[in-house]
Amino acid sequence: MGVHEECGVLGVWAPEPVDVAHMAYRGLFALQHRGQESCGIVVNDDGVFVSHKDLGLVGESFSASTLKAMPRASMAIGHVRYGTTGASSRKNCQPIEVNHQKGRMAIAHNGNLSNASALRDALELEGAIFHTTSDTETIAYVVTRKRLTSSSIEEALSAAMGVLEGAYSLVLMSPRKLICARDRHGFRPLCYGRTDEGAYVIASESCALAAVGARFVRDVEPGEILVFGDGGPASRREHCRTKEKRTCIFEHIYFARPDSVIDGVSVQDARLRAGRILAEEHPVSADIVVGVPDSGLAAALGYAQASGISYSIGLVKNGYVGRTFISPGQGSRVDKVSMKLAAVEQSVSGKSVVLVDDSIVRGTTCARIVRLLRDAGAKEVHMRVSAPPFLHPCHYGTDIDSRDNLIACRLPVEGIAVEIGADSLGYLPVSRLGELIGGQGFCSACFDGRYPTAVPDDVRRDRYERRFSEVDLEGR
């Protein structure tokens, strides 16, 4: 535990005006696990954009009266945010809306551009003035510039994709069109489905399609642009297969909801396989296997199935407390662990426990969980992790921007076990990651340092909000 998750995007196109705001609201609810800082919906009312954006959860930000005030329309896009670039503030809420001489545009995106700083610097030298600190505004600027010399908004987006590097799964809305696109490597997931009434729904994960009553059609391919209209989605494929596919493997390990299917691979099945691999690689004599809710549960079940050790509910989660890593400070994060999780004493007292979680970042959260089990009477706690050790920063949307706080960068496995208070510790081997998803192309740079793109010079999340004392102001 401890990795910040991604954002989630959603788009709705209907053949005639319907309550698209409420459809987007339901879809964003299903994507809430991908971002809990802020959320927003923009509705296209016959070319006029009506929006509502705010900090907080979807259910907190959108009241019944807010949704009722939004018009029936044929198009809408929505977003839930955890910002890996830019501060948590209203100015960074998405979707971002742009007005320019070629017409309005609204855009929402998931991922991080690896060349965002270089693009932003170049745009500022040409006179661009930025109002947010997120990568999404950079994408909007690039598309807008390309629109000035392009025959259509999709042509402008295609031209922009020629200069955008890194991760971006996005939905874009013009006065007349709803468009989605996935970066050429396919770092972040994106799919679409269709309702019985003929509406199309685009979403970061397939779980959101079911929430809106849409049947899954297919994943958007890496590099593909889809334009939705009366004749169905029109596909532009000039960027497809121009880069090697590199879907983030951590989507299957942790980010995505277990009922989602990404690029044809069930997230639940991938996590079960991870648990089985852990049992093969790191067997131990124990009484029960316990998973850390939520994303450690399937891997724990897989471990139990492969090892023959009984699976037990040893930790219960308070569903009203958000994910611990959303907390801005370490003290707050630790406090939330005790608020969020409790050990089931009847299950663990006097037992030797295999504890399965999805990752270890700083080590403080899992140390607290190990302590919860020991305080409940566990006589041994053997930690098993369904991912390899984090050793490198991520430049594509995961909130690991340096090696400074990664426990695996300063301690060997045995030392980490001592620090978190576990009797033993075992990680999923990097060499077996491909087995989780059937060997498809994937990105595992945060584990092995093999980056699919050039590494940016400045990867700090707060690079646009640093204090005077932290920067060199000479010449400014």
**Quick one: 304 and 384 in the same domain?**
yes
pLDDT of 294 higher than 60: yes
> Measured between alpha carbons, how far is residue 329 from residues 332, 334, 369 in Å?
5, 9, 18
Joined together, the tokens standing for residue 389 give 């050790």
Give the CB-side neighbour count of residue 116, counting CA atoms within 13 A. Answer: 29
pLDDT of 460 higher than 70: no
Pairing of strands 103-110, 169-173: antiparallel
Structure confidence at residue 131 (pLDDT): 87
Query: Is residue 302 in some structural domain?
Result: yes
**Quick one: 203 and 124 in the same domain?**
yes
pLDDT of 465 higher than 70: no
Contacts with 89 (C-beta within 8 Å, 6 or more apart), sequence order: 55
Query: Is residue 454 in some structural domain?
Result: no
**Quick one: 341 and 424 in the same domain?**
yes
**pLDDT mean across residues, the chain:** 90
132-190 confidence digits (pLDDT tens): 888 999 999 999 999 999 999 999 999 999 999 999 999 999 999 999 999 999 999 99
Q: Which residue has the tokens 């932003």?
A: 120
Query: Is residue 200 in some structural domain?
Result: yes
192-218 confidence digits (pLDDT tens): 999 999 999 999 999 999 999 999 999
Taking a C-beta distance cutoff of 8 angstroms, is the pair 2, 360 a contact?
yes
**Quick one: 235 and 283 in the same domain?**
no
- Model's pTM, two decimal places? 0.90
Joined together, the tokens standing for residue 192 give 């679409």
In the chain, the number of structural domains is 2
**Quick one: 34 and 131 in the same domain?**
yes
Query: Is residue 380 in some structural domain?
Result: yes
Q: If DSSP codes are grouped into helix, strand and coil, which group holds residue 353?
A: strand
**Quick one: 65 and 29 in the same domain?**
yes
**Quick one: 168 and 317 in the same domain?**
no
> Last residue of a domain, which of 220, 246, 272?
246
Compare 342 and 399 and report the one with higher pLDDT. 342
**Quick one: 66 and 161 in the same domain?**
yes
Q: How far apart are CA 356 and CA 441, in angstroms?
A: 26
Taking a C-beta distance cutoff of 8 angstroms, is the pair 110, 44 a contact?
no
> Last residue of a domain, which of 218, 246, 274?
246
> Measured between alpha carbons, how far is residue 9 from residues 153, 309, 431 in Å?
19, 40, 32
What is the band of 404 on the pLDDT scale with cuts at 50, 70, 90? Answer: confident
**Quick one: 313 and 406 in the same domain?**
yes
pLDDT of 228 higher than 60: yes
Mean pLDDT check: name the lowest of 56-60, 109-113, 357-361, 465-469: 465-469
Compare 105 and 324 and report the one with higher pLDDT. 105
What is the maximum alpha-carbon separation in the chain? Answer: 71
CATH number at residue 292: 3.40.50.2020
Contacts with 324 (C-beta within 8 Å, 6 or more apart), sequence order: 1, 2, 333, 336, 337, 340, 365
Which residues are designated catalytic?
7
Query: Is residue 459 in some structural domain?
Result: no
**Quick one: 269 and 228 in the same domain?**
no
Query: Is residue 16 in some structural domain?
Result: yes
Pairing of strands 191-195, 200-203: antiparallel
Q: How far apart are CA 337 and CA 411, in angstroms?
A: 23
Structure confidence at residue 461 (pLDDT): 52
Domain extent, residue 331, equals 262-447
**Quick one: 226 and 284 in the same domain?**
no
Q: How far apart are CA 234 and CA 431, in angstroms?
A: 39
DSSP string of 23-38, one letter each residue: HHHHHHHHTGGG--SE
Ramachandran area for residue 38 (φ above 0: left; ψ -120 to 50: alpha; else beta): beta
Taking a C-beta distance cutoff of 8 angstroms, is the pair 253, 302 a contact?
no
CATH number at residue 124: 3.60.20.10
408-425 confidence digits (pLDDT tens): 999 999 999 999 999 999
**Quick one: 234 and 305 in the same domain?**
no
